[in-house]
Amino acid sequence: MSLLHVYAYLVAAWLLLAGAFGIARSRNLVHAVVCLSIAQSGTYVLLIAIGYQSGASPPVFDGTTPPDVAARSPVVDPVVHAMTLTDVVVAATVTALLLALAVQVAKRHGTLDPDELTSLRG
Protein backbone atom coordinates (compact mmCIF):
# COMPACT_ATOMS: atom_id res chain seq x y z
CA MET A 1 0.00 0.00 0.00
CA SER A 2 1.47 3.31 -1.05
CA LEU A 3 1.62 6.48 0.96
CA LEU A 4 -1.03 7.99 -1.33
CA HIS A 5 -3.51 5.29 -0.27
CA VAL A 6 -2.86 5.99 3.40
CA TYR A 7 -3.39 9.73 2.93
CA ALA A 8 -6.60 9.14 0.99
CA TYR A 9 -8.00 6.88 3.71
CA LEU A 10 -7.00 9.37 6.41
CA VAL A 11 -8.66 12.24 4.54
CA ALA A 12 -11.82 10.16 4.04
CA ALA A 13 -11.95 9.28 7.74
CA TRP A 14 -11.28 12.88 8.78
CA LEU A 15 -14.07 14.21 6.54
CA LEU A 16 -16.51 11.62 7.83
CA LEU A 17 -15.64 12.29 11.47
CA ALA A 18 -15.65 16.08 11.06
CA GLY A 19 -19.07 15.92 9.41
CA ALA A 20 -20.48 13.60 12.06
CA PHE A 21 -19.10 15.80 14.85
CA GLY A 22 -20.64 18.85 13.18
CA ILE A 23 -24.02 17.15 12.95
CA ALA A 24 -23.87 16.14 16.61
CA ARG A 25 -22.91 19.65 17.76
CA SER A 26 -25.14 21.60 15.37
CA ARG A 27 -27.52 24.22 16.72
CA ASN A 28 -28.92 25.10 13.29
CA LEU A 29 -30.63 22.93 10.68
CA VAL A 30 -28.73 24.50 7.77
CA HIS A 31 -25.44 23.86 9.58
CA ALA A 32 -26.46 20.23 10.07
CA VAL A 33 -27.18 19.88 6.34
CA VAL A 34 -23.77 21.34 5.46
CA CYS A 35 -22.09 18.97 7.93
CA LEU A 36 -23.93 16.05 6.34
CA SER A 37 -22.57 17.13 2.95
CA ILE A 38 -19.06 17.19 4.40
CA ALA A 39 -19.51 13.69 5.79
CA GLN A 40 -20.75 12.52 2.39
CA SER A 41 -17.63 13.99 0.79
CA GLY A 42 -15.65 11.48 2.81
CA THR A 43 -17.41 8.70 0.94
CA TYR A 44 -16.28 10.16 -2.42
CA VAL A 45 -12.67 10.17 -1.31
CA LEU A 46 -13.01 6.65 0.09
CA LEU A 47 -14.51 5.25 -3.11
CA ILE A 48 -11.86 6.89 -5.28
CA ALA A 49 -9.11 5.59 -2.96
CA ILE A 50 -10.52 2.07 -3.19
CA GLY A 51 -10.68 2.20 -6.99
CA TYR A 52 -7.19 3.67 -7.47
CA GLN A 53 -4.42 1.38 -8.68
CA SER A 54 -0.91 2.67 -9.16
CA GLY A 55 0.28 2.22 -12.73
CA ALA A 56 -3.05 0.89 -13.98
CA SER A 57 -4.48 1.86 -17.34
CA PRO A 58 -8.04 2.80 -18.27
CA PRO A 59 -10.31 -0.21 -18.91
CA VAL A 60 -10.41 0.38 -22.68
CA PHE A 61 -8.87 -2.15 -25.05
CA ASP A 62 -8.50 -1.31 -28.72
CA GLY A 63 -8.33 -4.88 -29.99
CA THR A 64 -4.72 -4.67 -31.15
CA THR A 65 -3.36 -5.88 -27.81
CA PRO A 66 -3.22 -9.68 -27.57
CA PRO A 67 -5.71 -11.05 -25.01
CA ASP A 68 -3.01 -12.64 -22.84
CA VAL A 69 -1.14 -9.32 -22.51
CA ALA A 70 -4.37 -7.42 -21.89
CA ALA A 71 -5.35 -9.89 -19.16
CA ARG A 72 -2.03 -9.42 -17.32
CA SER A 73 -1.91 -5.63 -17.35
CA PRO A 74 -3.66 -3.96 -14.40
CA VAL A 75 -6.68 -1.81 -15.18
CA VAL A 76 -8.74 0.55 -13.08
CA ASP A 77 -12.17 -0.74 -12.07
CA PRO A 78 -14.76 1.58 -13.69
CA VAL A 79 -17.57 0.41 -11.38
CA VAL A 80 -16.07 2.24 -8.39
CA HIS A 81 -15.91 5.49 -10.32
CA ALA A 82 -19.48 5.04 -11.52
CA MET A 83 -20.55 4.49 -7.91
CA THR A 84 -18.76 7.71 -6.94
CA LEU A 85 -20.64 9.67 -9.59
CA THR A 86 -23.89 8.14 -8.39
CA ASP A 87 -22.97 9.10 -4.83
CA VAL A 88 -22.41 12.71 -5.91
CA VAL A 89 -25.82 12.89 -7.59
CA VAL A 90 -27.60 11.31 -4.62
CA ALA A 91 -25.80 13.64 -2.19
CA ALA A 92 -26.79 16.71 -4.21
CA THR A 93 -30.41 15.57 -4.24
CA VAL A 94 -30.46 14.85 -0.51
CA THR A 95 -28.82 18.21 0.26
CA ALA A 96 -31.36 20.09 -1.88
CA LEU A 97 -34.26 18.25 -0.23
CA LEU A 98 -32.98 18.89 3.30
CA LEU A 99 -32.34 22.58 2.58
CA ALA A 100 -35.87 22.90 1.18
CA LEU A 101 -37.23 21.31 4.35
CA ALA A 102 -35.16 23.69 6.47
CA VAL A 103 -36.61 26.66 4.57
CA GLN A 104 -40.14 25.38 5.20
CA VAL A 105 -39.42 24.88 8.91
CA ALA A 106 -38.06 28.44 9.12
CA LYS A 107 -41.14 29.83 7.35
CA ARG A 108 -43.63 27.97 9.52
CA HIS A 109 -41.94 28.15 12.91
CA GLY A 110 -39.58 31.11 12.66
CA THR A 111 -36.53 29.21 13.89
CA LEU A 112 -33.92 26.75 12.70
CA ASP A 113 -32.84 25.67 16.18
CA PRO A 114 -33.76 21.99 16.65
CA ASP A 115 -34.18 22.43 20.41
CA GLU A 116 -36.95 24.99 19.86
CA LEU A 117 -38.79 22.61 17.54
CA THR A 118 -39.44 19.95 20.18
CA SER A 119 -42.89 21.30 20.98
CA LEU A 120 -44.28 20.59 17.49
CA ARG A 121 -47.70 19.03 17.33
CA GLY A 122 -49.01 16.54 14.78
> Which pLDDT belongs to residue 1?
66
> Which pLDDT belongs to residue 121?
63
Please say whether the beta carbons of 61 and 70 come within 8 A. yes
Contacts of 39 (CB under 8 A, 6+ apart): 15, 16, 18, 19, 20, 22, 23
Q: Domains in the chain: how many in total?
A: 1
- Residue 58 falls inside a structural domain: yes
> Which pLDDT belongs to residue 122?
60
Please say whether the beta carbons of 51 and 67 come within 8 A. no
Q: What global pTM score does this model have?
A: 0.80
CATH number reported for the structural domain that contains residue 43 in this entry: 1.10.287.3510
Residue range 39-87, pLDDT digits in tens:
999 999 999 888 887 777 777 766 666 666 556 677 788 888 899 999 9
- Residue 122 falls inside a structural domain: no
Range of the domain at 78: 3-117
- Residue 90 falls inside a structural domain: yes
> Which pLDDT belongs to residue 115?
82
- C-alpha to C-alpha distances, 31 to 8, 25, 99, nearest whole angstrom: 25, 10, 10
